[in-house]
Amino acid sequence: MTKNNSEHYILREITPLSEKDCFYIVDRHKKEFTYPIHCHDEYELNFVEHGRGLQRIVGDSVETVDDYDLVLITTPELEHVWEQGTCDSEDIREITIQFSPHFFDSLATTNQFDRVKTMLDKARNGLSFPMEAIMKIYFLLDTLPETKGFYAVTQFLTLLYELSFFTDKAHSLSTSSFAKVNVQANSRRVLKIQQYISDHYQDEVHLSKLADMVGMSPAAFSRFFKQRTGKKLSDYIIDIRLGHAARMLVDTTMSVAEICYDCGFNNLSNFNRIFKRKKNCSPTEFRETYFKKKIII
């Protein structure tokens, strides 16, 4: 188990996956979710059926799921849990597949595996797939627990490959700053700006300075940044700051006000308002949500 500065503990799960196994799979039927917030070294694909009302926490993402939920997580330190929430189903099905990051070492640089590698990289923040993706791979997922040996491995690889066609339609869950994931971008100019923001999020970040860094006018840069990242610059900066704030709420005993100003916000009421709008809960509620499911020893 790992200890943080606030004397709370995150459960580090030790999975049954051995060095000689390609993956570990468990198919459960349950009435409630009672497992605490945890993390583990293995990648995880988690599927839930008949789980409407469950609360899913992945990093600083807190969402209520529908009847079907499919999430891929590929960062060892990214905390996650499915909580009971308002779910009253008498038969929740959960299929969990855990596999080693090293399982794909020999495939990672091949052209044939490129699409899957892109999906695994994006899933470092946690990746939630749409219903059409679930329907596409449902048969493969449904029958995988009963498939054995070599055929189970080929079926699992096929499942990941089919799922990779929905990477762009899936949505990221945790912010990179909370998940402690290094930013990545195909554009060197975007990467330069993202790295600058990551290093200076506590300071005032001026549009004109960022535009000058890549030799563009402010208006042209704003359009360029949104096209390449899918976010307005102001929203991107806010998300980075909120991710750091959420991480500090979990890992420290600092007050909300101290965290607010330490993360680059200059107004406490504005910070609380933005946090609640983005996270669907106040900073204090977010901290309590995390701590109530931690193991204290």
Q: Kindly report the CA angle at 251 between 192 and 48, in degrees rounded to 5?
A: 85
Cα–Cα distance list, 7 to 36, 71, 250, 256 (Å): 16, 29, 10, 17
pLDDT at 228: 86
What structural domains does the chain harbor? 2-172 (2.60.120.10), 181-279 (1.10.10.60)
Q: What is the arithmetic mean of pLDDT over 65-70?
A: 96
Give the model confidence (pLDDT) of 39-62 as tens digits.
888 999 999 999 999 999 999 999
- Residue 18 pLDDT more than 80? no
What is the bridge-based pairing of β-strands 9-12 and 38-39?
Answer: parallel
Higher pLDDT, 135 or 7: 135
pLDDT at 10: 59
* DSSP H or E stretch at residue 201: none
pLDDT at 169: 94
In angstroms, rounded to a whole number, what is the distance separating the alpha carbons of residues 273 and 269? 6
In angstroms, rounded to a whole number, what is the distance separating the alpha carbons of residues 274 and 64? 20
Q: Are 22 and 159 in contact (CB under 8 A)?
A: no
Helix (H, G, I), strand (E, B) or coil at 61: strand
pLDDT band of 36, cuts 50, 70, 90: confident
pLDDT band of 297, cuts 50, 70, 90: very low
